[in-house]
Structure 1
Amino acid sequence: MNISGNTIFIPGSTSGIGLALALALQARGNTVIVGGRRGDLLEQITRDHPGLDTVRIDTADPAGIDAAAQQVLSRHPGLNVVVTMAGIMRIEDWHTPASFLATAEETITTNVLGPIRLIGAFIEHLQKQPDATIVTVSSGLAFAPLRATPSYNASKAAIHMLSESLRLQLADTSVRIVELVPPSVRTALLPGQENSDFAMPLDEYVSEVMALLQDQPDAKEIQVERVKFLRYAEVRGDYDKVVETLNAADPHGK
């Protein structure tokens, strides 16, 4: 992925990693469209960050995705990058269905069906561009599970394998698949995570991601150093120890 000169749509970027990445990409000379559900946040982003365009989108709503895609493409016909950033993370207790079923269904709808529907809404357009990229967003938890978030872990494992599969299937097109693999980052993804000593500072994470995008334009996965502890646990042969350490160290794992 080229680091500049793109037109980039990032649904799910009104806060956290998404917004920080949007601003970093804008600073590198890209046209960036921020997508989100809340109109008040989108209006505030427009006021606070001139030059960013915004579009209202709920990635759990198929019709809303199609409407947002039409709006984005009508205003930005040169769009060539889509970052499927939108996602949720919920703590679950699987001892009884009442404790997890609704949350699990919401998580899979947002984290798996959402990216699938987003890709479906833009894939024909992207194939017409001379150089296009879909950036998927998985997690270190796709490779080593956090006990407290079963559905989130599973959804991110699904995104990893979807990314691997689409990269093979779209190899005959102009569309590249790049998988962003974050560790725990200081955002509001879970209550208290933005102040967690376990989590990586947001500015450090985005800075390292931007450096990797610049230095490794052909990378299939964007892995900051901190996520490799989880990403390669099975490869190193210390998977059980990594899972034990992860669930002992992260306060959300208890």
Structure 2
Amino acid sequence: MNITGNTVFIPGATSGIGLALALALRQRGNTVIVGGRRAELLEKIAIEHPGVDTVRIDTTDPASIAAAAKEVLARHPELNVLVPMAGIMRVEDWHRPESFLASAESVVTTNVLGPIRLIAAFIEHLRARPDATIVTVSSGLAFTPLKATPSYNASKAAIHMLSESLRLQLAGTSVKVLELEPPSVRTDLLPGQAGNDDAMPLDEFVAEVMTILENRPDAKEVQVERVKFLRYGEARGDYEQVVAALNAADPHGR
């Protein structure tokens, strides 16, 4: 993925990694459209960051995705990068189905069906562009499970395999598939995570991501150094130790 000269739509980017990434891309000469559910946050972004376009979208609602796609393409027919960023993370206790089932369904709807529906809404347009990229967002937890968040781990593993499969299917087309694999980052994804000293500072994470994109435009996976401990445990042969270390440090562990 080239680091400049793109038109990028990032649904789910009103805060956290999504917003930080949107602003970093904007600073490097890209046209950026931010999508989100909350109109007040979109208005705030538009005021504080002139030049960043905003579109209301609920990525759990197929009708909202279809309407937003139509709006984005009408305003930005040169769109060539889609970053389905929206995601939720929930602590779940699977000893009691009444305590986790609704949460699990919500996580799968947001984290798996959301990106699938977004890609479906834009794929024909992207294939018609001379150079296009789909940037999926998985997690280090796609490769090493955090005990407290089963559905989140599974959803991100699904996104990893979806990314691998789409890359195979879209080989030979103008559409590249790039997978972003964050470690724990200081955002509000979980309560207390923004203040967790063990999580990576958001500005450091985005700066390292941008450096990787600049230096490796043909990369298939974007992995900051901190995520490699989780990403490659099985390949290194120390998977069990990585799982134990991750869960020993988990403030949400049970």
Please indicate, yes or no, whether the TM-score normalized by the shorter chain is above 0.5. yes
Per the alignment, residue 114 of structure 1 pairs with 114
Per the alignment, residue 247 of structure 2 pairs with 247
Q: Deviations over 1:53-73 (max 9, x none)?
A: 000000000010000000000
Residue correspondence of structure 1 range 230-245 to structure 2 within 5 A: 230-245=230-245
Per the alignment, residue 186 of structure 1 pairs with 186
The answer to whether the 8 Å contact 1:198/1:250 transfers is no
RMSD in angstroms over aligned alpha carbons? 0.5
Residue correspondence of structure 1 range 55-134 to structure 2 within 5 A: 55-134=55-134
CA distance in structure 2 between the aligned counterparts of 1:2 and 1:25, rounded to whole angstroms: 11
CA distance in structure 1 between the aligned counterparts of 2:130 and 2:252, rounded to whole angstroms: 44
Per the alignment, residue 151 of structure 1 pairs with 151
User: Post-superposition shift, 1:197?
Assistant: 1.0
TM-score, scaled to structure 2: 0.99
User: Post-superposition shift, 1:198?
Assistant: 1.3
CA distance in structure 2 between the aligned counterparts of 1:173 and 1:40, rounded to whole angstroms: 38
1:225 correspondence with 2:225 = yes
1:139 correspondence with 2:132 = no
1:51 correspondence with 2:60 = no
CA distance in structure 1 between the aligned counterparts of 2:137 and 2:253, rounded to whole angstroms: 21
SS in 2 for 1:219: coil
User: Post-superposition shift, 1:253?
Assistant: 2.9
User: Post-superposition shift, 1:252?
Assistant: 2.3
Aligned residue-pair number: 254
CA distance in structure 1 between the aligned counterparts of 2:250 and 2:211, rounded to whole angstroms: 27
CA distance in structure 1 between the aligned counterparts of 2:77 and 2:185, rounded to whole angstroms: 33
SS in 1 for 2:8: strand
Q: Deviations over 1:122-153 (max 9, x none)?
A: 00000000000000000000000000000000
User: Post-superposition shift, 1:108?
Assistant: 0.2
CA distance in structure 2 between the aligned counterparts of 1:252 and 1:20, rounded to whole angstroms: 26
Q: Deviations over 1:69-113 (max 9, x none)?
A: 000000000000000110000000000110100000000000000
Amino acid at match of 2:161: M
CA distance in structure 2 between the aligned counterparts of 1:126 and 1:250, rounded to whole angstroms: 40
TM-score, scaled to structure 1: 0.99
* Aligned-residue identity in percent: 77
User: Post-superposition shift, 1:249?
Assistant: 1.0
Structure 2 residue runs of 5 or longer lacking an equivalent are none
Amino acid at match of 1:184: S
SS in 1 for 2:26: helix
CA distance in structure 1 between the aligned counterparts of 2:119 and 2:169, rounded to whole angstroms: 13
User: Post-superposition shift, 1:237?
Assistant: 0.5
User: Post-superposition shift, 1:48?
Assistant: 0.4
User: Post-superposition shift, 1:250?
Assistant: 2.3
Structure 1 residue runs of 5 or longer lacking an equivalent are none
Q: Deviations over 1:4-55 (max 9, x none)?
A: 0000000000000000000000000000000000000000000000000000
Amino acid at match of 1:160: H
